[in-house]
Structure 1
Amino acid sequence: MTFIVSYTADPVEARRTELCEHKGDGHPDSLCDGAADAVSQALCGAYLRAYGEVRHHNVDKALLIGGRSRPRFGGGVVDAPMRLIIAGCADPLPAPDDVVALARAAAHAYLERTLRHVTRRVPIEVAIRVGASQLRGTVAPSAGIPVANDTSFGAGHAPYSRLEEAVLDLSSLLRSADFRRAYPCAGDDFKVMGRRIDETIAVTIALAFVGREVAGVKEYFAQKSAMAQWLARRITFDCAIRINTLDAADATDESGIYLTVTGTSAEHGDDGQVGRGNRVNRLITPARTMSLEAAAGKNPVSHVGKLYNVLSLQMARALVNEVAELRDVEVQLLSAIGQPVNSPLLVALRCALRDGCAMPLDEARLQHIVEARLADIPALSLRLARGEVRVF
């Protein structure tokens, strides 16, 4: 393993501008991530029960095909439902267990507990086959240590910036039970886009409204204004909040505003795909180093696209928490296909030090923390298999 530490005087907080985004659970991309990872977790559980170990699978290809709808105040009609396709590979289960049936059931269950206003079961097509023999062997090789199934990298950073915390705080409020009780018209599909210019933070929120909970245009705009005020009263930072900025100010009917039947834009042609949404830190952060790997649906034992992205995030957090001199850390882990997952080809740290701290640091301290996290990979894999670590 090559271990390299570099230093920067340009942490994200020192830059004049920063962007950050979060997609809510009902967003079409998040629905694909959630359904795919629910299938992976169901497979992991079935393999553990049948074989005592997680077997090879990757079900990280999911596509949500948007439907057609006619939203109306007080109701509306879905003319063509959204559809979900899940594709990938998976080792077989003992008879009479069926991988396809298990995957479909897991995806259905996820969508039904996530989409509160969808009353019809979403059609799901499952295309899962047995994977290539070489890749199947990466999960449980003869040496006993899983090996990387790909040459790829994972990336993570810590701590969250002020803007990142602001976006996550607003996202938590939007999905909270208090917000949903106060505003039954709020759907499950939302996106929070934040920007910082110097010290000023502003956010734009896209939030699907549920037509049957809104009586008319006047109430829609009144509810939207009240939501912005409700959110502003509950955040601990100065922030300008705008909601549904595409709405026509002079709208007289449903056509000029963001109204839905089911609370998600997927009902009227907005498609979704695994990997186009949040990274494993629950954010999309173009100002940071990040991987474009889709973590959701990948097996948690040998697929470095999942394992190393989660691990790099946890490493960055551990480094910042345990080394007082560190202000900001970015971690990159590079794998080599066929090499043990606990022995990456490269560990690269990019560190920003707190004011007054001399550099370089004692790198042995940093490497010790990294190696402790690498040694914890088996436990991390099990937590991922159980769904205890969110990956989107």
Structure 2
Amino acid sequence: MNDMELVITKHESFQARAFEMCEHKGIGHPDSLCDGVAEAVSLALNRAYLQAFGHILHYNVDKALLIGGQSLPRFGGGQVLKPMRLIISGRASPLPDTWLSELVRDVAYRYLSQNVRCDPALFEIECAVRTGSPNLQQAFVRGTSRALANDTSFGVGFAPYSTLEKNVLQLGTLLHSAAFQVRFPAAGDDYKVMAARVGGRLAFTVALALVDREIPDAAGYFAVKEAIREHLLSTLTSPCDLAINTLDDAHASTVDGIYLTVSGLSSEQGDDGEVGRGNRMNGLITPCRSMSLEAVAGKNPVSHVGKLYNALAWEIARAVIAEIEGVEEATVQLLSRIGQPVERPALVAIELACRGRLTLAMRQAVQSLVHARLSDIECTSSRLVRGELPAF
């Protein structure tokens, strides 16, 4: 790794910033649906290649587009008039005795049936996966014993979460929990949490699709919405403001002007989605942090640094915080160069917030940790292959 540049600098604490904002998109958000299906197809290809060839071949199925349908919500239950259309695109090496289109569609429907509570038949699945270019396939073959980066890109990770970020993830986990769904059956699977902090003041805006068959009338809608708001507020330990579905017309007496759906998904009526527009690997969208815009979901976990380096940067940042005394915050950026071994990035840039000064001993400890993690990059890759690390 002699040609790898490693830069370690001291940085001010992120928690000391005057403001921050972050976002979490729930499991049924159109972008999350694209991410989830793409990653499910990726994991299925990992298993299929390993079973057929003993190793993973070249593929990337990190392109998906969800085209919204049309619906007619009604108090007590409406109907979806036109199904949602999900197109999965990318490149993949052929499999013996398996049609890629059949595998993709089967996996997509299985994922939807296991992760959202509406009828998967409300989706039309289209496979547009084709064979990859010869040079990328050849690079993958050359790297079968030593994986070569198939792109010039970068990955980013940071640790720990801020107070605001923890609260956003807490709300996202609650909205997806079985207990919450039992308590509030009108709550759909499509939700988003947007949050901001100015000084010590926190504010949350939640968008949550409500299901029409569970709502008898407009008064019932607003009663459920207020009960959910009070419940969410009661779970947060920090004083804050919290609002739900702020586009609602407070004087609405019909379904017009309120966030009411048939399926619990906004994509049933015009809200579209794409892979990579949602959560990063840590479950958040953090515009005030360093972050990569690479779509992690659907990329192969062996040579695509858009996936591998984001995972590794995240692991390194958490390890630095856990293992090196005096370091309170860490941001890690890894830059690749196409065709080079994945364990040899072109640049590793690490920013640290410390108690006191950044000492030589601390620098040496970080360097040792980075080299150890890069030397064992196959461990991170294997965890991604098995689906042990989140993609969004």
TM-score, L = length of structure 1: 0.97
Deviations 1:109-139 (A, max 9, x none): 1112122023525111111111112211333
Amino acid at match of 2:11: T
**Deviation at 1:200?**
0.8
1:43–1:103 Cα contact (<8 Å) kept: no
1-structure distance, mates of 2:225, 2:182: 15
Aligned to 2:249: 248
Aligned to 2:227: 226
2:80–2:122 Cα contact (<8 Å) kept: no
2:109–2:120 Cα contact (<8 Å) kept: no
Aligned to 1:319: 320
Describe the shift of the 1:100–1:201 C-alpha distance in structure 2 as closer, same or farther (beyond 3 A).
same
Aligned to 1:8: 11
**Deviation at 1:357?**
4.2
**Deviation at 1:180?**
0.5
2-structure distance, mates of 1:358, 1:367: 13
CA RMSD of aligned residues (A): 1.2
Amino acid at match of 2:10: Y
1:280–1:295 Cα contact (<8 Å) kept: yes
Describe the shift of the 1:228–1:329 C-alpha distance in structure 2 as closer, same or farther (beyond 3 A).
same
Describe the shift of the 1:264–1:380 C-alpha distance in structure 2 as closer, same or farther (beyond 3 A).
same
Structure 2 residue 295 is matched with structure 1 residue 294: yes
Describe the shift of the 1:139–1:238 C-alpha distance in structure 2 as closer, same or farther (beyond 3 A).
farther
2:84–2:122 Cα contact (<8 Å) kept: no
1:67–1:80 Cα contact (<8 Å) kept: yes
Structure 2 residue 383 is matched with structure 1 residue 364: no
The residue correspondences of 1:203-218 to structure 2 (distance < 5 A) are 203-218=204-219
SS of 1:41's equivalent in the other structure is helix
Deviations 1:165-215 (A, max 9, x none): 010011111111111110000000000001001001110000000000111
Which runs of 5 or more structure 2 residues have no equivalent in the other structure?
A: none
Aligned to 2:376: 376
Deviations 1:32-74 (A, max 9, x none): 0000011111011000111111111000010000000010111
The residue correspondences of 1:8-157 to structure 2 (distance < 5 A) are 8-9=11-12, 11-94=13-96, 96-118=97-119, 120-141=121-142, 144-157=145-158
Aligned length: 389
Deviations 1:58-111 (A, max 9, x none): 0001000000001011100111011000111101111x2122211111111111
2:6–2:347 Cα contact (<8 Å) kept: yes
1-structure distance, mates of 2:362, 2:267: 51
1:62–1:273 Cα contact (<8 Å) kept: yes
TM-score, L = length of structure 2: 0.97
**Deviation at 1:375?**
2.2
2-structure distance, mates of 1:75, 1:106: 29
Structure 1, 143-152 or 218-227: larger mean CA deviation = 143-152
SS of 1:73's equivalent in the other structure is coil
**Deviation at 1:288?**
0.4
2:72–2:262 Cα contact (<8 Å) kept: yes
2-structure distance, mates of 1:385, 1:8: 34
Describe the shift of the 1:142–1:177 C-alpha distance in structure 2 as closer, same or farther (beyond 3 A).
closer
SS of 1:138's equivalent in the other structure is helix
2-structure distance, mates of 1:258, 1:121: 19
**Deviation at 1:142?**
5.6
1-structure distance, mates of 2:321, 2:289: 16
Structure 1, 374-383 or 239-248: larger mean CA deviation = 374-383
SS of 1:343's equivalent in the other structure is coil
Which runs of 5 or more structure 1 residues have no equivalent in the other structure?
A: none
1:23–1:277 Cα contact (<8 Å) kept: yes
